[in-house]
Every structure is written in C-alpha cells, then in structure tokens.
C-alpha cells in the first residue's frame, strides 16, 4: 500500500454480528478475539477467533494468553491467513483505547474495539492503530 493511500478496514456484517453476540454472552467481562485476514493489502477481515480473557480484572481490561495466541496464529497461518489485529469489547466504556490498551499494544496490528452500552443497548465498533503511547483512528467499514 502506497503512502498516500487511505487505509480502510472492511468488516463483513456477519462477522460484526458475531463480535456483538459473543461479546454480549461474555458480559459483564470484556471479550477478546484474534482478527485474521488474507495476507494482501485488501484489509478485509476474513475471520475472528475468540480467546480467553485471562486478566485478573476482566471487567475493565483484557489479557490474552500469549501461548494461545501463538498456537491459533500458527494454525491460521498454515491456512494462508495472517493476524491483522486484536479485537476486544468495552462493556461500560467508549470505543476508544484505554491506558492499559495502549500499554500492551504492538505497533503493527490493528485494534478493533467494540463499545457495548448495556443501558441503551447500542453498539459501536472502531478501529485503531496504537504506537508510541498514542493512538490514531483507522477508518472501518461494516459491509
């Protein structure tokens, strides 16, 4: 992808629904999942795989077991897919990265955050790039 081109992550609607439904079943805890795409520049989410949130404060943060991550990534890579990002939900927050999210982020992944507002029953998903303790929003399109 050239420097001047705008990045747009494409999230197919059936995967968006899967993210919302599964995240609702994990309430009041945060959910987390690995996001895979084909290793091209299209940035289309091909599949998401939910993983355990092993954080000791799962209502306000998430933590992924690195061994589980590596094992899933290995299997998906063998199927021709690439880890493009990490998904997690914010049950009582906004769809923006928290301080802990920034702390544990790596620069070459996209971070998808789903806001689940339990009072208004609304959802919103946003995509972020996190690096050097800063975040910038990446356009995301649910199609």
The binding site for Zn ion (CB under 5 A) comprises: 98, 101
Which CB sits closer to Zn ion, 36 or 111? 111
* Whole-angstrom distance, CA of residue 115 vs CA of residue 119: 12
CB of 101 to Zn ion, least distance (A): 4
Which residue lies nearer to Zn ion by CB, 34 or 101? 101
| 101 vs 110, beta carbon nearer Zn ion | 101
- Chain center to CA of 15: 12
Q: At closest approach, how far in Å is the CB of 34 from Zn ion?
A: 15
Please tell me whether the peptide bond between 28 and the residue prior to it is cis, using omega within 30 degrees of 0.
Answer: yes
Q: Are 34 and 69 in contact (CB under 8 A)?
A: yes
Nearest approach, Cβ of residue 36 and Zn ion (Å): 20
Could you give phi then psi for residue 120, rounded to 5 degrees?
-90, -5
Q: How far is the CB of 115 from Zn ion (least distance, A)?
A: 10
Of 55 and 98, the one with the shorter C-beta distance to Zn ion is: 98
The one-character DSSP state at 3 is T
* Token duo for residue 46: 């091909």
Residue nearest to Zn ion (CB): 101
**CB-CB neighbours of 110 under 10 Å:** 21
């Amino acid at each position: 992808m050239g420097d001047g081109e705008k990045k747009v992550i494409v999230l197919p609607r059936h995967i968006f629904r899967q993210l919302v439904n599964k995240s609702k079943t994990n309430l009041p805890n945060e959910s987390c999942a690995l996001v895979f795409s084909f290793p091209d520049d299209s940035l289309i989410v091909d599949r998401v795989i939910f993983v355990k949130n092993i954080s000791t404060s799962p209502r306000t943060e998430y933590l992924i077991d690195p061994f589980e991550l590596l094992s899933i990534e290995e299997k998906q890579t063998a199927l021709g897919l690439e880890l493009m990002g990490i998904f997690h939900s914010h049950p009582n927050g906004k769809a923006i990265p928290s301080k802990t999210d920034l702390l544990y982020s790596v620069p070459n992944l996209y971070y998808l955050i789903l806001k689940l507002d339990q009072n208004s029953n609304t959802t919103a998903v946003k995509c972020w790039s996190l690096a050097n303790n800063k975040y910038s929003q990446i356009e995301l399109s649910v199609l």
